[in-house]
Amino acid sequence: MGETKNLIGREAISKITELIDDIEICMFCTYENGKLISRPMSAQQVDDDGNIWFLSDKNSEKNKALQSDNKVELLYAKGNSKFIAIHGKGTVVFDKEKIKELWTPIAAIWFTEGVNDPDISLIKVSLDDGYYWDTKHGKMVELAIMAAALITGKTMDDGIEGSLSKS
């Protein structure tokens, strides 16, 4: 078994930012009639307060779902070495300045009129709590440790995991 390191405050926000920036795509999950509904999305930013920001079509099913139940699950995975699960509250936001701040050229694929597209909105996910799994020493060391474990037949876990909390 690997090491457990629970993270709070700035340390948790830093780990969330690091993993989300590295993994990029999550399954953005909302609840409809008690059922988990998932779709792939890419976060635009983790802000200094630990809020995770997404661009979204104001008429999307996820925006509608958030109006009746604002519970959100964000599930990220990269290979067999990096995972993060975020539990939070999602809020639909209409803020042109924030849209301009988060805009990237790739967003034009979904919002063809650019930052002034009338259908663009934001979703802000506020962290309730989360959990992460990562490697202590990076991919190359992880591969070497896995190879050594296969050769020796001994478990050599380079993992680190723990809870995430803003306070």
Q: Write the pLDDT tens digit of every residue in 95-125.
A: 999 999 999 999 999 999 999 999 999 999 9
Domain total in the chain:
1
Residue whose entry in the numeric block shows the structure tokens 């723990």: 162
DSSP character string of 21-51 = HHH-EEEEEEEETTEEEEEEEE--EE-TTS-
Q: Write the pLDDT tens digit of every residue in 49-71.
A: 999 999 999 999 999 999 999 99
Q: What is the CATH number of the domain that holds 102?
A: 2.30.110.10
Pair 166, 12: CB distance under 8 Å: yes
Pair 2, 160: CB distance under 8 Å: yes
Distance CA 159, CA 136 (A): 6
Q: What is the mean pLDDT of the chain?
A: 88
Domain, as residue range, for 73: 3-165
Residue 89: per-residue pLDDT: 98
Q: Rounded to whole angstroms, what are the CA distances from 107 to 17, 26, 29, 129?
A: 20, 16, 20, 28
- Sheet strands (E) in 43-147: 45-46, 52-57, 71-78, 82-93, 120-135
- Given a cut of 90, whether residue 166 has pLDDT beyond it is no
Residue whose entry in the numeric block shows the structure tokens 């597209």: 117
Distance CA 25, CA 32 (A): 22
Helices (H), 105-159: 139-152
pTM across the whole model: 0.85
